[in-house]
Amino acid sequence: MEPLSPEGNPPETERSVAWPAIGAGALLVVLAIGALVLLTRPSGERTAQPVSEGPHAYGEKLQFADLKMSEVANFVGGKVTYLEGQLTNQGDRTVSGVTVEIVFRNSLGEVVQKETLPVKVHEQRGPYVDVTDLKAAPLKPGETRGFRLIFDHVSADWNREYPAITVTAVSFN
């Protein structure tokens, strides 16, 4: 039988708190939130692009053809949308960079999303096709190469038609 305290209650036993376990749990929660923030924010490529003043003159010599769009699920449960096709340099200069403005519209023809992105071109790496900057694989005059634009998010109001593509910047070798 346990001795009673002067008030007639059993004495309180000392409880130890597992502070290291609580600290480790809090650290895991903070790391998980940080990872979620990093994975869901727009990539630096999109925010680092200069604001366009309109179409680039050499853009008329760059032809985008055989457009295809696809969506895939990413590892965090969201969707990534790809716009792929063929890019042909019909001009007389070697192109080492292309920036485009992509405009998505709704069923009323209103702009629901506008993004400025660098064009990435297909590059064969062993048995796989990867994408790389044009700076690493410039597009020579008369050359055609596959390209890909990647969208982390596309507006739910998008009318599912191909977006408008405007070349806003071109770099040359």
| CB-facing half-sphere around the CA of 4: CA atoms within 13 A | 4
- Contact predicate 102/114, CB 8 Å: yes
* pLDDT tens per residue across span 70-104: 998 888 888 899 999 999 999 999 999 999 999 99
The whole-angstrom separation of Cα 67 and Cα 164 is 11
Which tens digits make up the pLDDT trace of 123-157? Answer: 888 888 889 999 999 999 999 999 999 999 999 99
pTM of the predicted structure, to 2 decimals: 0.67
